[in-house]
Amino acid sequence: MKQALTIAGSDSGGGAGIQADLKTMTAFGVYGASVITAVTAQNTLGVQGFETMSIDLVDKQLDSVLSDLNFSAAKTGMLATSQIIKVVAKKVKEYQLENLVVDPVMVATSGDILLAKEAIATIKEELIPLAKVITPNLNEAKVLIGRDIAEEVSLELLASELHKLGSEYVLVKGGHQVGENAIDLLYDGVEFIEYTSKRVDTKDTHGTGCTLSSAIASNLALGYDVKEAVKRSKKYITEAIKAGCNVGNGNNPVNHFAMVYSFE
Ligand SMILES: Nc1ncnc2c1ncn2[C@@H]1O[C@H](COP(=O)(O)OP(=O)(O)O)[C@@H](O)[C@H]1O
Ligand SMILES: Cc1ncc(COP(=O)(O)O)c(N)n1
């Protein structure tokens, strides 16, 4: 069985973070393992608090899984602090982890901050250069290249500036743009490829970013190339958003098994 690793934070509400990642990997028939960086007290209404794991425990979790399991891909989500990013980067190099998808999680859908400000430089310098693909949303893309959040910048410009940070591919997600379509743009330094779906008219998008990046890691683990992995993942996230899970009182999570049920 193909194996993938998520290195991310726990969402007690079950819609984002580690929980979304493992559900996504399972939906694709990939064996998912997890290294937990932080535990959030979270639901569909927001993040009520979080604590980070000790550096020693993050280090130990990484050694435990990387010395035993055989990962064909991995993803990072909430990394919270500079020190955690440094440990993760060190282990990625030490174990030569391939097909690394870096989702530079900074803020939850609810607006709560999940990454310390000083850690932005660390993620740029130490982790992004090791990535096969990075998957920032619009705001994360602007923050990473030092632009003002309020500034209008095209997806092409964001992708080409981000590519200079050293990942092999950049996928800028346009979920937060306005318009009838949700457009994501992939760039490998040579060609731009758009992935377009009809925008679903919903506020229930908790976990979309986590789910998309895990889907990409799962498909890379299955042996698809990046373009095909993104295509399959875009289809998966669109169906997951359309189906939704009506479980909470805020921004509800996506339905990770929408496509799996339709196989019946
Ligand atoms: N309302 C929507 N309808 C369809 N697709 C969406 C919608 N919102 C987000 N997406 C898609 O979900 C994925 C996650 O994007 P985005 O919401 O921008 O990231 P994040 O969750 O990191 O903020 C992207 O593929 C994006 O195009
Ligand atoms: C532990 C954790 N990690 C990441 C997110 C981002 O969620 P989203 O996918 O909605 O951007 C979150 N809300 N909680």
* Backbone angles phi and psi of 150, in degrees to 5: -75, -15
What CA–CA distances, in Å, run from 153 to 78, 132, 150, 188?
Answer: 25, 24, 9, 19
Task: State the CATH number of the domain containing residue 120.
Answer: 3.40.1190.20
Burial class (CB in 10 A: 0-12, 13-18, 19+), 67: exposed
245 is catalytic: no
Cα of 215 vs centre of ligand 2, distance in Å, is 15
Complex ipTM tops 0.95: yes
pTM: 0.98
Q: Would the CB of 184 count as within 6 Å of ligand 1?
A: yes
Ligand closest to Cα of 230 equals 1
14: amino acid identity, one letter: G
Gap from CA of 199 to ligand 2 centroid (Å): 20
Successive 10-residue mean pLDDT values, the chain, 264 residues: 98 98 98 98 96 98 98 98 98 98 92 92 98 97 94 96 98 94 98 98 97 98 98 98 97 95 60
Burial class (CB in 10 A: 0-12, 13-18, 19+), 222: middle
Q: What is the DSSP string of 14-69?
A: SSSHHHHHHHHHHHTT-EEEEEEEEEEEEETTEEEEEEEPPHHHHHHHHHHHHTTS
**Number of domains forming the structure of the chain:** 1
Q: Is the CB of 208 under 6 A from ligand 2?
A: yes
Active site residue 210: yes
State how far the Cα of 241 lies from the Cα of 244, in Å rounded to an integer: 5
Check residue 111 and give its pLDDT.
85
Question: Who contacts 162 (Cβ-Cβ below 8 Å, separation ≥6)?
Answer: 134, 136, 141, 144, 145, 170, 172, 187
The CA distance from 207 to 27, in Å, is: 15
2 CB less than 6 Å from ligand 2? no
**CA dist 133 to 103, 111, 198, 229, Å?**
9, 24, 24, 11
Angle of helix 208-221 relative to helix 226-243, nearest 10 degrees?
A: 140
Could you tell me if the CB of 231 is within 6 A of ligand 1? no
Distance CA 177, CA 224 (A): 28
Name the DSSP letter for residue 129. G
Would the CB of 241 count as within 6 Å of ligand 1?
A: yes
Structural domain containing residue 32? 3-261
| Residue 208 among the catalytic residues | yes
